[in-house]
Amino acid sequence: MLYDPQHQPHLTKDWVFRALLGVAALMRSFGAALAMQTSGILLGLPLAPLALSLPMPRRLGENLLQGLPDTVMALVISWGLLKYAHQAKLADLGLGLDWGVVREALLGLAGGMLCLGLVVLPMFPLAEPQWKDVESRLGSLTSVLLLTGLLGLAAFSEELILRGYAFQSLVYPLDLTGALLVTSGAFAALHLGNRGANEITVANTFLAGCALGLLVAWRRSLWIATGAHLGWNLATILLGLNVSGITVPLMPFRLSWKGAEAWTGGDYGPEGSVVCTAVLLVLVLVLIRLYYQREEDEAAKTEV
């Protein structure tokens, strides 16, 4: 990974030097993420009319289609920074292209779906579920495949921008905790304007960002984080629930709850519930243990 010592200067114990290096890393990380996001938006402007031809609501199509230019610019800027600032490759961000990619992506996909299930399942006894028949606006197989592809692209672009260079270039100077706090805070801020957002959704999105960052640090792969991101979103959609306040009209039914929003998440979806808070807290603790276990194992191998 990028934060391995061979890609970074030696850090002394002098706190002044480390503080200055940390500030410089923050500026570089923030600048990189801002450049990726801004250039992606500019590149996406010519693609805006294409959203009208997508077999899905226009607003949803625009949001998902933006993942394409975001991904392109994030890859280009990451490649340039890695090549000229670190003498590294995209594979050093956890973007290696081998058969392990499939394993990591599928592991993340299954894990994301499982975690969403653990959030939703307790809601059935806590609140009264209400199923409502609706007309699916994504009925054809082509529409479903296109939606899945765009969802995957959107998940990948978010992970690349936030858990790629921005996150990994901060781990060495700020330690893992500092990098998680900065990038997870940015992840939560990006969802502030979503429908139904409140204090609980902000906290949960922050915890989700921590979990995704820990996944990258543990497995040394952006593919597993992308799979987990996509798996969570897909499972939410398949249950007829909103994803971070966004309605995706794929299923011919909608699931809502008759009960307190704190338990169900309300219009925001399951990410707005205290059940989600509990699941994510446990997940973060488990991933912290797995990460440090890997570090201990690698240290023991080095000593041998």
Per-residue pLDDT tens over the stretch 176-220: 999 999 999 999 999 999 999 999 999 999 999 999 999 999 999
The pLDDT confidence band at residue 250, using thresholds 50, 70 and 90, is: confident
> CA-CA distance, 250 to 146, in Å (whole number)?
12
Q: Is the pLDDT of residue 7 over 70?
A: no
Q: Which two tokens stand for residue 87?
A: 């003498």
Q: Which two tokens stand for residue 274?
A: 């205290």
Residue 219: which of 269, 287, 303 has the closest Cα?
A: 287
Q: Which residues contact residue 299 at a Cβ distance below 8 angstroms, ignoring those fewer than 6 apart?
A: none
Residue 265: DSSP 8-state: -
Q: Which two tokens stand for residue 152?
A: 């995957």
Is the distance from CB of 69 to CB of 44 less than 8 angstroms? yes
- The residue behind tokens 């007829």 is 240
DSSP result, 96-122 = --STHHHHHHHHHHHHHHHHHHHHHTT
> CA-CA distance, 210 to 287, in Å (whole number)?
9
Query: Dihedral through CA 192, CA 194, CA 199, CA 200, nearest 10?
Result: -130
Least confident of 92-106, 122-136, 199-213, 267-281: 122-136
Tell me the CA end-to-end span of the chain in Å, nearest whole number: 22
What was the pLDDT predicted at 259?
Answer: 83
Q: What does the radius of gyration of the chain's CA atoms come to, in whole angstroms?
A: 20
Is the distance from CB of 88 to CB of 82 less than 8 angstroms? yes
In 10 A of CB 233, how many CB atoms? 23
Output the pTM of the full model. 0.91
141-180 pLDDT, tens digit each:
777 888 899 999 999 999 999 999 999 988 888 889 999 9
> CA-CA distance, 222 to 206, in Å (whole number)?
18
Q: Is the pLDDT of residue 113 over 80?
A: yes
> CA-CA distance, 115 to 135, in Å (whole number)?
28
Cα-based distances in Å from 22 to 18, 25, 30, 179, 228: 6, 5, 12, 10, 29
Residue 77: which of 32, 135, 132, 26 has the closest Cα?
A: 32
Give the pLDDT mean for 230-257: 92
Interstrand relation of 253-258 and 128-133 (parallel, antiparallel or unpaired): antiparallel
Q: Is the pLDDT of residue 243 over 90?
A: yes
Q: Give backbone dihedrals phi and psi of 129, rounded to 5 degrees, phi first.
A: -75, 145
Residue 33: which of 243, 209, 244, 281 has the closest Cα?
A: 209
Residue 242: which of 220, 272, 221 has the closest Cα?
A: 272
